[in-house]
């Protein structure tokens, strides 16, 4: 099956017993054991639940993996993946990682002596892989500065050194990018974002290709218990069915907005991998089938960023991304507030940086809202 069909028919897409076209919500914690030592394959819903399993098979199919695991949030998925490591191990990370991922490394796993180190230049990655390094954890495009990292190159260096490559694929979704097919070992998602797509649930996923790694992650999922509930699993399956049409529209709108804003005299810089002058444009084209729906931009110094975000009406000012509605975020005080200020400023997450998750509304309405807010923030009136 090709990818649009797989989103709808992948995994377990119907109910064998009744023919229902949607997977039932098995709202149960336990299962009757018919005889001593005999069960249906389900014993207890932390270990396995048919609704969650349908989602897990679906996500494995659409990411090109063999096993998928559903968790209560993206960070629960990431925390399960990080639990594969032990005291003394070090994980290499990108310099603009999702704030929550940085926080869990910096303030939780560090307590167990699982260390991290930032990679500033991926061209010199191999030199940074010393004996204690056991994995490299990347996001591409990164959040919020949309740097592109070459997944194939990173995975092949990692493989040659015998360490794992972990890719947070939240920004692209499996519709646009499949890191496992490019050589990565583990893919994680905040399914709260594009996969769910409707800002109505919090969920996380981890997907692997290797059977042994799959067994280890299943053990951790059951042992630590951060599973996704049956109803949320159902909602996520429902969201995934329309992923392709939503992503196409997100991207159409994001390209339009990025193109217009790059001509604005009120804006210093626009970050969007779909722009030809983006340094990662060519790598992005080679490893993903699109550019996604998130753009970031820097307001001119004389504009007031607080008045800008407060001036938005159609675009919701709030955390998160990937929903059908456009969302604006102020990374320095919101998603990336957990990064030390010095690191934030060094990499470009300044106070004037705004990130927009471009929704699927009419693109002209989104642009008009931004232009109105630019004027309220002290910008010049202009025709784009």
Ligand X SMILES: *Cc1c(COP(=O)(O)O)cnc(C)c1O
Summarize as ranges the residues that interact with ligand X (CB under 6 A): 73-75, 98, 100-101, 139, 143, 168, 170-171, 190, 192-193, 202, 204
Distance CA 42, CA 33 (A): 9
Phi then psi dihedrals of residue 245, to 5 deg: -70, -35
Q: Which residue is nearest to ligand X (CB)?
A: 74
Whether residue 90 contacts residue 113, with contact meaning beta carbons closer than 8 Å, is answered with: no
| Minimum separation from the CB atom of position 105 to ligand X (A) | 12
- Write down the least CB distance from residue 172 to ligand X, Å: 10
- Angle of CA points 154, 116, 114, to nearest 5°: 120
- Closest contact distance (angstroms) between CB of 143 and ligand X is 5
Closest contact distance (angstroms) between CB of 99 and ligand X is: 9
Spatial CA neighbour of 52 closest among 223, 245, 222: 222
**Closer CB to ligand X, residue 296 or residue 371?**
296
Structure tokens at 267: 């804006």
Sheet hosting strand 67-71, strand order edge to edge: 67-71, 204-208, 186-190, 164-168, 133-139, 90-94, 115-119
Measured between its terminal Cα atoms, the distance across the chain in Å is 42
Establish whether 369 is a catalytic residue. no
Given the residues 52, 90, 115, 193, the one annotated as active site: 193
State how far the Cα of 175 lies from the Cα of 44, in Å rounded to an integer: 32
- Please, which residue, 94 or 371, has the CB nearer to ligand X? 94
CB 288 within 8 A of CB 172: yes
Q: Scan for tokens 């968790």, then name that residue.
A: 71
What are phi and psi for residue 333, nearest 5 degrees?
A: -105, -10
Q: DSSP alpha helices (H): ranges in 242-362?
A: 243-261, 281-287, 305-311, 341-347
Question: Of 3, 15, 42, 46, which is the active-site residue?
Answer: 46
In whole angstroms, what is the distance from residue 60 CA to residue 73 CA? 17
Please tell me which residue in 61, 147, 150, 168 is annotated as part of the active site.
168
Compute how many other C-beta atoms are within 10 angstroms of the C-beta atom of residue 89.
19
What are the φ and ψ backbone dihedral angles of 208, each rounded to 5 degrees? -135, 165
- Catalytic pick among 26, 31, 52, 98: 98
DSSP assignment of 147-174, as one string? Answer: ----HHHHHHHHHHTT-EEEEE-TTTHH
Burial class (CB in 10 A: 0-12, 13-18, 19+), 256: middle
Residue 193 known to be catalytic: yes
Token pair 């890719």 in the structure block, residue: 167
> CA-CA distance, 70 to 31, in Å (whole number)?
20
Of the pair 12, 334, the CB lying nearest ligand X is at: 334
Rank residues 146 and 377 by Cβ distance to ligand X and give the closer one: 146
Q: Please confirm, yes or no, whether 351 is among the known catalytic residues.
A: no
Provide the annotated active-site residues.
46, 98, 168, 193
């Amino acid at each position: 099956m090709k990818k649009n069909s797989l989103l709808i028919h992948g995994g377990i897409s119907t109910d064998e017993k009744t023919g229902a076209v949607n997977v039932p919500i098995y709202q149960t914690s336990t299962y009757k054991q018919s005889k001593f030592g005999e069960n249906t394959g389900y014993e207890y819903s932390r270990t396995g639940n048919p609704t969650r399993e349908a989602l897990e098979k679906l996500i494995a199919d659409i990411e090109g993996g063999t096993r998928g695991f559903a968790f209560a949030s993206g960070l629960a998925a990431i925390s399960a993946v990080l639990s594969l490591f032990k005291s003394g191990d070090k994980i290499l990370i990108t310099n603009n990682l999702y704030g929550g991922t940085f926080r869990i490394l910096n303030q939780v796993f560090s307590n167990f002596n699982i260390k991290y180190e930032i990679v500033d230049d991926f061209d010199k990655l191999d030199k940074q892989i010393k004996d204690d390094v056991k994995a490299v954890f990347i996001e591409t495009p990164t959040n919020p500065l949309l740097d592109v990292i070459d997944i194939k190159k990173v995975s092949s260096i990692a493989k040659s050194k015998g360490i794992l490559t972990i890719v947070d694929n939240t920004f692209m979704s499996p519709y646009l990018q499949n890191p496992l097919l490019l050589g990565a070992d583990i893919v994680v998602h905040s399914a709260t974002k594009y996969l769910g797509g409707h800002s109505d649930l919090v969920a996380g996923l981890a997907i692997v290709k290797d059977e042994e790694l799959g067994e280890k992650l299943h053990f951790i999922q059951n042992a630590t218990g951060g599973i996704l509930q049956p109803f949320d699993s159902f909602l996520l399956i429902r969201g995934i069915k329309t992923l392709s049409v939503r992503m196409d529209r997100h991207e159409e709108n994001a390209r339009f907005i990025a193109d217009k804003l790059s001509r604005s005299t009120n804006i210093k810089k626009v970050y969007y991998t779909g722009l030809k002058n983006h340094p990662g444009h060519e790598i992005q084209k080679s490893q993903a089938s699109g550019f996604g729906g998130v753009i970031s931009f820097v307001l001119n110094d004389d504009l007031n960023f607080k008045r800008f975000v407060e001036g938005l009406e159609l675009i919701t000012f709030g955390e998160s991304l990937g929903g059908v509605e456009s969302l604006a975020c102020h990374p320095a005080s919101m998603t990336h507030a957990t990064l030390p200020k010095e690191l934030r400023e060094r990499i470009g997450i300044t106070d004037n940086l705004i990130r927009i998750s471009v929704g699927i509304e009419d693109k002209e309405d989104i642009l008009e809202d931004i232009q109105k807010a630019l004027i309220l923030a002290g910008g010049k009136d202009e025709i784009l």
